Amino acid sequence: MSPSGVTAYARVHATVRALYSYMLTFPMWESLIQAQDFDAVLNLLSKSIYAPYLELDRHLLTPRRVVYQIRRHLADVYEKLIRLTPQPGSQLLQQLWRHYEVDNLKAALRGVETGASWDAVLHLLYPMSKYITVTAEDLERVVRSRDMFQAIESISHTPYYETLVHALSRYRTEKSLFPLEVALDLTYRRSLWASIYELRGADLEHALRMIGTPLDIDNLLWAIRYRVFHHLSEQEIINYTLPMGYKVQDAHIRAIAAGDNLAEIVAHIYPGLEGLERLNLNPREGVAMLEVALQRRFIDLCKSTFIGNPFNIGIPAAYLWLNEHEIRDLTVLVEAKASHTPLDIFLPLLEFYPLLSRSTD
């Protein structure tokens, strides 16, 4: 434990610990899951850390709006931790934060493609106001554009412009958002990976684990999906994935692309994962199962970061991921309760809550 680490991260650690203690407890989750309906969920959330974000007239609190409001908490904690974390960790968190910016941009481009109004798109976005390169006004301009060219030209001042403008010719030829979205995803993740190597020592080690693991999960699932669902060629799978990762190496991606046994490859990367044979027997179900299993494994990894030396970038990053997963589960729950989906349908989709119950047991 270097003194500089303690000095630099003491405040961040104290803040994260305080924020961590406000995460939804297992009894709260139990109550939310057993809640009668959407209104009951709102009542319960009004007693949680999300309460201030839900102080709107009841008629405005549609399921979509509730999710949007809850996400504002994530925006607030990101902004707070970026502010408190010393450089170059702060820069890495900013880069991580832009993961939502890329998602917002993709949502806006989908809005252009489907001719959706700005009002329809607005509450699908992540609320972001600081440490961003694409503002709300930019996104509004994108959505209000007449066509994809105008949409992309309207964000010519952002770092995503070069990528999008180059991918535009493929969009025109193929009439699909796929090339635009893949180009954005790859470019963003390459720059995120590069940001990790701005760190040194314990920070680098933790950043590789906390940022590299979700990158691995994305990369692995992309490769499998491209093969199973899209039936892409070996060369295409390689070109549409990343050559680097924390545990998922280029060799693994190439093996998937070349048509090797999926279950064996995944078992080699993540020993101990159960039910992998379904990847070969029923790939569609197998991929969905694998995604949930990997996300739960990652949540466990985030929690384990809180044990041991806490004065490094791993702590804020782990908390931010945990908060994202809590919100992802809340999103599933809110939508399920609003649409009266039965418990047995939506419960298996929750990633965060089952781990809480396990730790309580």
Partner 1 sequence: MSKVELIVPERDVVPVTEALAASDVFHLAKSNQVVADGAARHANEWHERATTFITLEQRILNVMKSLNVDEGLPPSEQLHLIGSNVALRDIELLEQEAEGPVHEFEAAQLKLTQLQRYLSQLEPIAELDVNLGDLRNMRYTFALIGTIPVTNIDRLQSSLEHIPFVLVTLRQEDHLAVVVLFGMQRDAAILNRAARSAYLNPLHPPKGYRGTPGEAIAALKDNIARTQQRIMESQASIDRIHETRIRHLRHLLWRIRASRKLVETIAEYGRLRYTYLITGWVPECKLETLQEKVAEVSDQVVIETSPPYADERVPVVLDNPSLLKSFEGLVTNYGYPAYGELDPTPVVALTYPLVFGIMFGDVGHGLFLFLLGILLLSGAIRSLRKLAGMGGILIGCGIMAMIFGFLYGSIFGFEEILRPLWIKPLEDIMDILIAAVVAGVALLNLGMLNHIGNAALSRQWGKLFFSHNGVVGMAFYWSFIGLLVGSLIPDMPISASVFGILTVITGGLVAFSEIFEHLVDGQRPLIEGGVGTYVMQAFFELFEVVIGLLSNTLSYIRMGAFAVAHGALSLVVFIIADIVSPEKGLGYWVVVVLGNLFVIGFEGMIVAIQTLRLEYYEFFSKFFSGGGEHYHPLKLISEEGNKSYQEA
Query: How far from 246 is each of 189, 276, 332, CA to CA, in Å?
Result: 13, 21, 29
**x/- map, 173-212, partner 1, by CB under 8 A:** ------x---x---x--x----------------------
Residue 116 beta carbon to partner 1: minimum distance, rounded to whole angstroms:
14
Phi-psi category of residue 359: left, alpha or beta, with phi > 0 → left and psi -120 to 50 → alpha: alpha
Q: Which of 36, 231, 235, 344 binds partner 1 (CB under 8 A)?
A: 235
Q: Does 106 bind partner 1 (CB under 8 A)?
A: no
Residue 347 beta carbon to partner 1: minimum distance, rounded to whole angstroms:
33
Structure tokens at 312: 């490094």
What is the footprint of partner 1 within residues 296-355 (CB under 8 A)?
Answer: none
Q: Does 59 bind partner 1 (CB under 8 A)?
A: yes
Residue 45 beta carbon to partner 1: minimum distance, rounded to whole angstroms:
20
Residue 204 beta carbon to partner 1: minimum distance, rounded to whole angstroms:
22
φ and ψ at residue 309, rounded to 5 degrees: -60, 115
Q: Does 236 bind partner 1 (CB under 8 A)?
A: yes
Query: How far from 49 is each of 18, 34, 316, CA to CA, in Å?
Result: 12, 19, 18
By beta-carbon proximity to partner 1, the closer residue of 171 and 353 is 171
By beta-carbon proximity to partner 1, the closer residue of 152 and 355 is 152
By beta-carbon proximity to partner 1, the closer residue of 113 and 236 is 236
Contacts of 95 (CB under 8 A, 6+ apart): 191, 192, 195
What do you get for the CA distance between the two ends of the chain, in Å? 33
Report how far residue 200's alpha carbon sits from residue 198's, in angstroms, rounded to the nearest whole number.
7
Residue whose C-alpha is closest to residue 239's, from 252, 216, 257 = 257
What is the footprint of partner 1 within residues 258-297 (CB under 8 A)?
Answer: none
Residue that is written with structure tokens 């305080």 in the block: 18
Cβ neighbourhood burial of 306 (10 Å; 0-12, 13-18, 19+): middle
Stretch of 32-40, 235-243, 260-268, 291-299 contacting partner 1, by CB under 8 A? 235-243
**x/- map, 108-147, partner 1, by CB under 8 A:** ----------xx--x--x-xxx------xx-xx---x---
Q: Which of 106, 110, 170, 296 binds partner 1 (CB under 8 A)?
A: 170
DSSP tag of 301: H
Rg of the chain over Cα atoms, rounded to whole angstroms, equals 21
Contacts of 267 (CB under 8 A, 6+ apart): 273, 276
Residue 239 beta carbon to partner 1: minimum distance, rounded to whole angstroms:
4
Task: Please count the residues of this chain forming the interface with partner 1, following the rule CB under 8 A.
Answer: 37
Q: Which residues bind partner 1 (CB under 8 A)?
A: 59, 72, 75, 118-119, 122, 125, 127-129, 136-137, 139-140, 144, 149-150, 162-163, 166-167, 169-170, 179, 183, 187, 190, 232-236, 238-240, 243, 250
